């Protein structure tokens, strides 16, 4: 047989294995999973735009006022009062100036509102990111342990998840917020320590699927330690779930913090956050609407951009849900005023919804039908 | 002969994918006449399934179809969706590959069956259910009048495929497309389903388009054969001609590649001489199981799936472990790999009882065992470059310096006939066969004395499988490892193994030397298993079919 | 199966117990319950302090206080509930009863409405995947997920509610530009959802524009905002349209059995409209009568479908029950509309932005209809705001679940049988897509309860949320625990229902 093989190689290609091997020879540069993910992420326009906006907001918040001992470029502070000019109206884009003296206007007491909003944004961002990081670390560790070892860790995790069903997160957070009494970093830490259950559940589910993967079985059979399997195989392969959900948890954290501050159990004076500003100036919303609008818009902006980044990351990690093939449809097609392709419609696939075969896995993206799966036996 | 019922004329299909347009079918023409079975044969990427789905207007969303498909005088490719729906399930119907997922899990079988009649206005309500019961009886579902009110998950895989077939023939279609109808089934079930299809073909006079990769199935069923490769028809003609005297080199390769089972005598009552088991000193076995019992634990309850299994593998020998799904063959492999605790009995590796060893010694002993799994898509960590995958066992057992490891990886890649620079590539760039070769390379990294291969080729195409199997025997000669080779395919065992152990429902049915088991099996189950495997020769297959029928009658098993 | 559900029920009750210990402990240790009195200059303060220490048992360790509270609550098992007293010494039982009514009404309406609306939009979005409609829905989902609920609530209060009041005070008229803009938006949106080829979409658009402009003009000239009515003719037309439309949507019009059944339901509905008019004018028993009549309607619908459904009993039941429910809703709506002018005459600015109901309205001086109409008027703005996150969640999950199901093999099987898209979507895809949603309901419900805390702050309701917030501020465990236990118990019940729904949807987990 083996003689046959070598002589066949000389002939024309009439063997699937040869075709595949030839394809492998002709392949260009190799891309790792991370590189593929990055490439897909950067082709997701809303996510990239969101990333730019978010970075811009963060840079503005921290550079304008500075942080700690580092000074910023904005000459006013969030506490200093001053004379109220023009009823405290915003000067942004007024009279031909871009920012002006008080771009976001002034409070009743003549404080510069730009400085207050920027300061609030700093605190809100700090809380959001610390919550995101803390809850991710705790969630990943507990989720991974629960998924790998099952047993009592898993039971505890599931019961803790049930707590969230029975007592709303906001309620637990409010009680916790009341306990820490408005200290920003402590509040962030405590919120992180109560919001990890969701991620832990997802990581656990992911680890449970990964346990069934043959490369994990192979690694166990080779004699690797549990640590090696968790750290080298399982966590890296659930990184998509982890990163995406960290992003979403950051967006959720910023909303949770502002809600808490609004009902009075979050950030408290002398510190302030965006949610606190809304609460504080709520009564002014009809007389000085800008005091109410600016912090709200920034909360929405941060949460929205973070959510979009999360969506882009999800598409990048799991392109199954995303459309493959030609580019996003143009305006006329989205409006349904132009059909995709005439011949396709008559072929009976006119309705985009759920026509079979649209599932594309990262593995088979270059093959039209995910060929390797075709001859699977059972399971 | 009569007019064709279905004809493809210069059909082309291309898919828009992430990496550009892929032409899957490049101008295919052939036709099917009433009452005829035309088999479309090909491997992955041949475009056989894609071609057939154009005739139902069920192409994928990102597909572009050109050319014409004419069904009973009507052009299907240029038909409005509404008219096309009237054809589907009525004039043309389909049997799918995967019976486990082809039925809606939340609807009763009665609802799903009756729907076929109601959609096309043939019968409604009680009448439709009554007709469905008749059909189910026709396709051999026992107790149909009661069972029709059950849900799909309460039926076995073979029974579900029968239900799907019943739905396909409900409205007496002129054309039935069977897309790999038996690929997901066990051999014995496959033989039954093929019998059923053959009976139905004669009863309904429908044309059948049979899509398959299995030449044995072709020999068993087909009147004419169309061979496809990479989107083109390379050869077509009557089944006898194609199978016995192929012209195109690809067809030749394909037939050559198909592992063949030797001729067996399947007579029933002839008492075969009982060969005394060869006496082997216990120390001779490199891997031995003594009275093994294995159990899965679920929610604190444990369920025995394997019981009373004894086996031994000598150095440099291959033991083929054969069985159908649910036989417990993979469970035994798992236990040897330490993925499952041994419930009872002993599992000796080089004379040491593995489960009872202290942790350190256990780990050291793992060096002696290499493993190759079934699923090429899942057996390599997608985040590791190939080099790291192959060197993983060396890293775990702290063998060699990083440089030496990479050198070893390149050496092994060459042994499995892959280019050296593959070390820097990632699994997603490799095809299924290439990944399985990488798997083998990894298994051999520490030159183990035992290799566990759990269905290593069953997910691969025929020609790729042939290549991997060849390579496997070569490497086995070279590295002289003992091997436990788990498979469902007797022909593969015939090609590779020295010893055979047949399992059914968690127990060993028969074990012994390959020649003895394959030529003169003693147990009924082994005989049935051997009789059910189709061979790619229409004449021989006809004889085998007859032999199987006699065997089953003799064993007192009712036929449909 | 039942055993499994009961086990889950039991374990969530235990979780509720554990959570109550945790919340009690945290609340008690969250500050100084005497803070206000310590800073007080009132000469009476020391006495008040002593009194509060006695009422709240502040001299006891926390677990003794917890045990005292728990004993009272455990009394519920033999009919003697005691939720303790707050720091003023008032009984929590009566306070909680009043507060729970307002809050739970808000949560229940928001839950039901979010599920219905979210699932409908989700399905449409999945059917029209990659259309502008789908993209807009996806964007709006993200926007809704990113909006702080309290901020939206304040905006809605200040602009929507007050704007509506102003508009009503001015007589409730549309101007021509308003009519034009609304019609134009609808003319773009509806064809997007309806689908079809380009020509059909243009025709639908034009027709939508004409219809909505005509309708708005009619509403305007008939002063619909101040004197709305559906009226007998409206009820007749709408009932028949519902019967035919729902049949067309669910089974197709050529299924005569279903069509006739639903038409019969419509006919009975029309007769009932006139027959019950007098009875409903001053309904004895209020909502109980309404519920009774509704139950009767459902029974009639089911019986009709069983008798006349023929071979399609199941589908006939679905269609007739939905038709019956919607017609009942129409009749109720017409009655409310009939009483609207009276409410306007009593209250020219119908939405009060403070409180859950108008205090001067009691059933003694105004009719049942006005009391409830007032309640509903106060309810719609907070409900809408509370719903935004939930609607986004349900839409998103329904959409992705539908798309996931649409990839399954059995959907292809259904198409291969020749089933049309309607049957593929509703018969084959829908139920399967609902299975994963059952688990989300429980989580979302908790989120909505959290949302009411905020909503009650914004709209100044004296509900459970208010109890919780003041209780927590005053480090007074009784109101906090009352909130936790009542909402927690409702959540447990809801979770229980979700588990049952899950088991009903998926035969595979039934044993």
C246 vs A151, which has greater pLDDT?
C246
B56 to C416: CB separation less than 8 angstroms, yes or no: yes
Most B CBs within 10 A among A333, A340, A375, A379, hence the mutation to make, goes to: A375
Residue C423's pLDDT is 87
Using alpha carbons only, how large is chain B's radius of gyration in Å?
A: 25
Q: Mean pLDDT across the stretch A275-289?
A: 83
Give the side-chain half-sphere CA count within 13 A for B319.
26
Write down the H helix ranges in A235-341: 235-237, 239-263, 274-280, 289-317, 331-334
Decide if C273 contacts C235 (C-beta within 8 A): yes
* pLDDT grade for C314, boundaries at 50, 70 and 90: confident
d(CA B434, CA B464): 9
Q: Is the pLDDT confidence value at C412 over 80?
A: yes
A370 touches chain C (CB under 8 A): no
The yes-or-no verdict on residue A10 having pLDDT over 80 is no
Residue B447, SS3?
coil
C-alpha B158 chain-centroid distance: 14
Interface check A358 vs C, CB under 8 A: yes
DSSP B398-424: T-S-HHHHHHHHHHHHHHTT--GGGGG
Residue ranges of C 382-421 with Cβ closer than 8 A to chain A: 400, 402-403, 405-407, 409, 411-412, 415, 421
Question: Do B550 and B531 meet the contact criterion of CB atoms below 8 Å apart?
Answer: no
* DSSP assignment string, A235-263: HHHTHHHHHHHHHHHHHHHHHHHHHHHHH
Where exactly are the structural domains of chain B? Answer: 6-257, 315-341+356-554
In this prediction, residue C302 carries a pLDDT of 93
Option in B82, B153, B167 nearest C508 (CB): B153
CA distance C151 to chain A (A): 6
pLDDT at C320: 93
pLDDT in tens, A237-252: 999 889 888 998 999 9
Nearest Cα residue to B390 out of B360, B424, B417 = B424
| Residue B305 phi, psi dihedral angles, 5° rounding | -115, -20
DSSP letter, residue B88: B
Least Cα separation, residue C410 to chain B (angstroms)? 4
CA C221 to chain A, closest CA, distance in angstroms equals 33
Q: Over range C35-43, report the average pLDDT.
A: 80
Three-class SS of B112-173: HHHHHHHHCCCCCHHHHHHHHHHHHHHCCCCCHHHHCCCCHHHCCHHHHHHHHHHHHHCCCC
The residue ranking higher by pLDDT, C504 or B227, is B227
In chain A the domains, ranked by start, together with CATH numbers, are: 120-317 (1.10.3720.10), 339-370 (no CATH)
**Per-residue confidence (pLDDT) for residue B267, from 0 to 100:** 55
* Band of pLDDT at residue A335, cut at 50, 70 and 90: low
pLDDT of residue A13: 58
The pLDDT of residue A368: 30
Tell me, what's the pLDDT at A339?
45
Residue A163 forms contact with C (CB below 8 Å) = yes
Task: Please indicate whether, in this complex, the C-beta atoms of C158 and A251 are within 8 angstroms of each other.
Answer: no
The mean pLDDT value for A52-57 works out to: 94
What gap in Å lies between CA B517 and CA B411, rounded to an integer?
Answer: 38
Cα separations (Å) of C412 from A304, B63, B86, B333, C126? 37, 16, 15, 36, 17
Alpha carbons A146 and A140: distance in angstroms, whole number? 10
Residue B388: its H or E element: helix B386-396
Helices (H) and strands (E) in chain C, counts: 21, 0
Q: Is the pLDDT of residue B276 over 70?
A: no
Fill in the DSSP letter of residue C230: -
Residue written as tokens 């965006």?
A274
pLDDT digits (tens, 9 = 90+) for C277-297: 888 888 888 888 999 999 999
Q: State the number of CA atoms in the 13 A half-sphere of B174 facing the CB.
A: 17
Give the model's confidence band at B271: pLDDT under 50 very low, under 70 low, under 90 confident, else very high. Answer: very low
Compute CA B297 distance to the chain's CA centroid, rounded to the nearest angstrom: 28
Tell whether the model's pLDDT for residue B22 goes beyond 90.
no
Least confident segment among A72-81, B352-361, C124-133: A72-81
Q: Tokens standing for B281?
A: 């000193």
Residues 442-481 of C with CB under 8 A from A: 442-443, 445-447, 449-451, 453-454, 457, 468-469, 472-473, 475, 480
User: Cβ contact (<8 Å) for C198 and A323?
Assistant: no
Q: Tens of pLDDT along B163-217?
A: 999 999 999 899 999 998 988 888 888 988 898 888 888 888 889 999 998 888 9
Residues of A in contact with C446 (CB under 8 A): 164-169
CA–CA separation, C487 vs C99, rounded Å?
11
Residue B6: other Cβ atoms inside 10 A: 25
Sheet of B499-504, strand order: B369-372, B450-454, B482-487, B318-323, B499-504, B507-513
> ipTM score here?
0.86
Q: What's the pTM value of the predicted model, to 2 decimals?
A: 0.87
Closest CA to C154 of A112, A170, A262: A262
Each residue of A132-185: pLDDT tens digit?
A: 999 999 999 999 999 898 888 888 888 888 888 888 889 999 999 988 877 889
Whether C191 and C201 have beta carbons less than 8 Å apart is answered as yes
Q: What is the pLDDT of residue A342?
A: 34
Q: Does this chain's domain B6-257 share its CATH topology with B315-341+356-554?
A: yes
Strands B482-487, B318-323: pairing is parallel
pLDDT at B558: 60
Share of chain B above pLDDT 70, in %: 95
Contacts C9 to A, Cβ<8 Å: none
Mean pLDDT of C504-511: 76
pLDDT of res. A53: 94
The CA distance from B159 to B120, in Å, is 25
Average pLDDT over residues C470-487: 90
Residue C237: predicted pLDDT: 93
Bridge partners of residue B298, in order along the sequence = B301
Residue C234 has pLDDT above 80, yes or no: yes
What is the pLDDT at residue B296? 85
pLDDT, one tens digit per residue, over B68-81 is 999 988 888 888 88
CATH architecture of residue range(s) B6-257: 3-Layer(aba) Sandwich (3.40)
* Rounded Cα gap, residues B527 and B272, in angstroms: 12
Tell me the shortest Cα–Cα distance from C27 to chain A, in angstroms. 6
Q: Render pLDDT for B106-155 as a digit per residue (tens, 0 to 9).
A: 999 999 999 999 889 888 888 899 999 999 998 889 899 999 999 999 99
User: Structure tokens of B392?
Assistant: 């993983």
The count of other CB atoms within 10 Å of the CB of residue B80 is 11
Confidence bin at C342 (pLDDT 50/70/90) = confident
Confidence of residue C498 (pLDDT cuts 50, 70, 90): confident
Name the minimum distance, in Å, from the CA of A379 to any CA of chain B. 9
Higher pLDDT, A164 or C108: C108
Instruction: Report residue B531 CA to chain centroid gap.
Output: 17
In sequence order, the β-bridge partners of residue B485 are B320, B453
What's CA C482's distance to the chain center, in Å?
23
Q: How many CB atoms lie within 10 A of CB B168?
A: 27
Mean pLDDT, residues B45-66 taken together: 85
Please tell me which residue, A371 or B272, carries the higher pLDDT value: B272
What is the C-alpha separation between A352 and C423, in angstroms, rounded?
Answer: 16
Average pLDDT score, chain C: 87
Crossing angle, helix B432-443 and helix B402-415, to 10 degrees?
130
Residues 6+ apart with CB under 8 A from C283: C289, C290, C368
CB-CB neighbours of A327 under 10 Å: 8
Q: Which residue of B has its CA nearest to C409?
A: B102
Mean pLDDT, range B476-500, rounded to an integer: 90
Q: Which CATH number fits domain B315-341+356-554: 3.20.20.140, 3.40.50.2300, 1.10.240.10, 3.40.50.300?
A: 3.40.50.300
């Amino acid at each position: 047989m083996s003689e046959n093989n070598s002589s066949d190689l000389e002939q024309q290609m009439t063997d699937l294995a040869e075709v595949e091997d030839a394809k492998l020879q002709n392949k260009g540069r190799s891309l790792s999973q991370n590189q593929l993910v990055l490439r897909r992420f950067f082709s997701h326009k809303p996510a990239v735009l969101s990333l730019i906006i978010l970075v811009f907001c963060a840079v503005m918040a921290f550079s304008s006022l500075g942080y700690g001992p580092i000074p910023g470029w904005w000459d006013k502070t969030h506490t200093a009062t001053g004379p109220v000019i023009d009823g405290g109206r915003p000067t942004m884009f007024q009279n031909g100036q871009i920012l002006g003296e008080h771009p976001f206007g002034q409070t009743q007491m003549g404080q510069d509102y730009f400085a207050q909003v920027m300061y609030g944004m700093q605190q809100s961002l700090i809380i959001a990111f610390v919550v995101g990081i803390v809850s991710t670390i705790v969630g990943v560790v507990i989720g991974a342990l629960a998924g790998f070892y099952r047993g009592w860790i898993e039971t505890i995790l599931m019961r803790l998840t049930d707590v969230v069903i029975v007592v709303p997160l906001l309620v637990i957070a409010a009680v916790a917020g009341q306990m820490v009494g408005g200290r920003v970093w402590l509040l962030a830490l405590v919120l992180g320590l109560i919001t990890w259950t969701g991620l832990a559940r997802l990581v656990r589910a992911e680890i449970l699927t990964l346990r069934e993967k043959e490369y994990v079985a192979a690694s166990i059979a080779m004699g690797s330690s549990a640590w090696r399997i968790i750290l080298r195989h399982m966590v890296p392969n659930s990184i998509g779930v982890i990163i995406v959900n960290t992003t979403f948890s950051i967006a959720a954290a910023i909303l949770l913090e502002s809600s808490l501050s609004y009902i009075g159990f979050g950030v408290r004076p002398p510190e302030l956050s965006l949610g606190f500003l809304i609460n504080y100036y709520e009564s002014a919303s009809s007389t000085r609407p800008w005091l109410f609008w600016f912090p709200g818009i920034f909360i929405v902006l941060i949460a929205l951009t973070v959510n979009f980044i999360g969506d882009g990351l999800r598409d990048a990690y799991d392109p199954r849900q995303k459309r493959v093939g030609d580019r996003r449809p143009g305006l006329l097609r989205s409006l349904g005023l132009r059909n995709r392709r005439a011949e396709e419609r008559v072929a009976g696939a006119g309705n985009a919804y759920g026509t079979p075969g649209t599932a594309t896995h990262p593995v088979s993206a270059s093959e039209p039908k995910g060929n390797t799966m075709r001859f699977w036996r059972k399971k | 002969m009569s007019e064709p019922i279905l004809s493809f004329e210069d059909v082309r299909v291309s898919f828009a994918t992430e990496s550009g347009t892929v032409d899957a079918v490049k101008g295919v023409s052939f036709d099917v006449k009433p009452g005829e079975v035309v088999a479309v044969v090909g491997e992955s990427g041949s475009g056989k399934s894609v071609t057939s789905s154009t005739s139902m207007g069920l192409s994928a969303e990102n597909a572009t179809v050109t050319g014409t498909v004419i069904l009973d005088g009507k052009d299907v490719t240029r038909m409005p969706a509404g008219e096309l729906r009237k054809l589907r399930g009525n004039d043309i119907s389909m049997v799918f590959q995967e019976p486990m997922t082809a039925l809606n899990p939340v609807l009763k079988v009665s609802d799903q069956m009756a729907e076929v009649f109601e959609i096309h206005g043939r019968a409604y309500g009680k009448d439709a259910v009554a007709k469905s019961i008749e059909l189910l009886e026709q396709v051999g579902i026992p107790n149909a009048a009661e069972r029709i009110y059950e849900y799909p998950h309460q039926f076995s895989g073979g029974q579900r495929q029968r239900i799907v077939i019943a739905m396909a023939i409900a409205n007496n279609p002129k054309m039935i497309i069977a897309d790999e109808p038996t690929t997901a089934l066990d051999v014995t079930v496959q033989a039954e389903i093929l019998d059923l299809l053959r009976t139905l073909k004669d009863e309904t006079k429908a044309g059948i388009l049979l899509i398959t990769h299995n030449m044995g199935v072709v020999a068993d069923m087909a009147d004419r054969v169309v061979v496809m490769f990479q989107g083109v028809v390379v050869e077509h003609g009557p089944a006898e001609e194609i199978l016995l005297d192929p012209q195109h080199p690809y067809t030749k390769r394909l037939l050559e590649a198909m592992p063949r089972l030797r001729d067996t005598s399947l007579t029933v009552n002839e008492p075969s001489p009982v060969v005394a088991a060869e006496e082997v000193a216990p120390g001779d076995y490199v891997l031995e199981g003594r009275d093994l019992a294995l159990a899965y634990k679920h929610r604190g309850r444990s369920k025995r799936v394997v019981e009373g299994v004894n086996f031994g593998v000598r150095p440099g020998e291959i033991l083929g472990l054969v069985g159908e799904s649910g036989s417990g063959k993979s469970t035994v492999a798992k236990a040897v790999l330490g993925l499952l605790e041994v419930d009872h009995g002993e599992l000796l590796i080089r004379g040491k009882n593995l489960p009872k060893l202290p942790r350190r010694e256990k780990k050291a002993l793992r060096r002696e065992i290499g493993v190759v799994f079934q699923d090429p898509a899942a057996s390599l960590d997608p985040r590791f470059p190939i080099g790291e995958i192959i060197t993983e066992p060396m890293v775990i057992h702290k063998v060699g310096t990083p440089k030496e490891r990479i050198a070893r990886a390149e050496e092994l890649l060459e042994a499995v006939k892959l280019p050296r620079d593959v070390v820097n590539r990632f699994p997603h760039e490799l095809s299924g066969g290439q990944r399985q070769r990488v798997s083998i390379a990894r298994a051999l990294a520490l030159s183990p004395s035992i290799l566990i291969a759990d269905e290593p080729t069953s997910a691969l195409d025929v020609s790729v499988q042939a290549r991997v199997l060849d390579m496997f025997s070569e490497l086995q000669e070279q590295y002289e490892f003992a091997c436990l080779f788990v498979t469902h395919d007797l022909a593969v065992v015939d090609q590779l193994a020295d010893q055979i152990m047949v399992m059914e429902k968690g127990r060993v049915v028969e074990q012994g030397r390959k020649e003895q088991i394959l030529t003169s099996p003693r147990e009924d189950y082994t005989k049935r298993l051997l009789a059910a495997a189709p061979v790619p020769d229409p004449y021989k297959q006809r004889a085998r079919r007859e032999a199987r029928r006699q065997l089953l009658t003799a064993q007192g098993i009712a036929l449909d | 199966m039942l055993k499994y559900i009961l086990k889950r029920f039991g374990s969530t009750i235990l979780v509720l117990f554990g959570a109550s210990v945790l919340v009690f402990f945290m609340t008690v240790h969250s500050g100084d319950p005497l803070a206000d009195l310590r800073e007080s200059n009132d000469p009476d303060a020391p006495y008040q302090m002593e009194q509060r220490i006695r009422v709240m048992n502040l001299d006891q360790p926390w677990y003794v206080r917890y045990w005292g509270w728990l004993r009272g609550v455990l009394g519920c098992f033999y009919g003697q509930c005691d939720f303790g007293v707050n720091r003023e010494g008032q009984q929590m039982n009566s306070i909680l009863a009043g507060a729970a009514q307002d809050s739970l009404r808000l949560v229940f309406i928001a839950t039901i409405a979010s599920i219905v609306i979210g699932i409908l939009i989700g399905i449409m979005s999945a059917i029209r995947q990659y259309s502008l409609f789908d993209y807009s829905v996806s964007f709006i989902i993200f926007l809704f997920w990113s909006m702080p609920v309290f901020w939206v609530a304040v905006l809605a209060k200040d602009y929507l509610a007050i704007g509506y009041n102003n508009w009503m005070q001015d007589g409730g008229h549309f101007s021509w530009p308003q009519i034009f803009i609304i019609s134009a938006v609808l003319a773009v949106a509806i064809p997007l959802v309806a689908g079809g080829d380009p020509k059909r979409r243009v025709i639908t658009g034009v027709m939508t524009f004409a219809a909505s402009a005509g309708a708005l003009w009619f509403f305007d000239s008939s002063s619909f905002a101040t004197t709305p009515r559906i009226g007998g003719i409206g009820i007749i037309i709408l009932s028949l349209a519902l019967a035919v439309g729902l049949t067309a949507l669910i089974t197709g019009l050529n299924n005569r059995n279903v069509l006739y059944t639903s038409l019969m339901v419509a006919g009975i509905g029309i007769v009932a409209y006139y027959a019950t008019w007098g009875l409903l004018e001053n309904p004895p028993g209020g909502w109980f009568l309404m519920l009774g009549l509704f139950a009767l309607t459902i029974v009639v619908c089911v019986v009709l479908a069983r008798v006349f459904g023929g071979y399609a009993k199941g589908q006939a039941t679905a269609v007739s029950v939905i038709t019956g429910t919607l017609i009942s809703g129409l009749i109720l709506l017409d009655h409310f509309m009939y009483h609207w002018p009276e409410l306007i005459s009593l209250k020219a600015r119908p939405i009060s932005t403070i409180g859950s109901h108008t205090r001067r309205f009691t059933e003694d001086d105004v009719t049942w209809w006005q009391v409830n109409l007032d309640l509903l008027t106060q309810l719609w703005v907070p409900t809408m705001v509370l719903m935004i996150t939930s609607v986004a969640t349900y839409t998103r999950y329904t959409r992705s679940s539908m798309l996931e199901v649409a990839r399954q093999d059995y959907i292809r099987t259904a198409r291969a049988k020749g089933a049309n898209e309607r049957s593929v979507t509703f018969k084959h895809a829908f139920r399967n897509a609902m299975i994963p949603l059952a688990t989300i309901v429980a989580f979302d419900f908790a989120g909505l309860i959290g949302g009411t805390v905020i909503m009650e702050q914004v709209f100044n309701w004296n509900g459970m949320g208010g109890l919780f917030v003041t209780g927590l501020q005053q480090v007074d465990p009784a109101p906090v625990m009352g909130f936790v236990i009542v909402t927690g118990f409702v959540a447990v019940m809801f979770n229980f229902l979700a588990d049952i729904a899950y088991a009903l949807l998926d035969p595979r987990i039934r044993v």
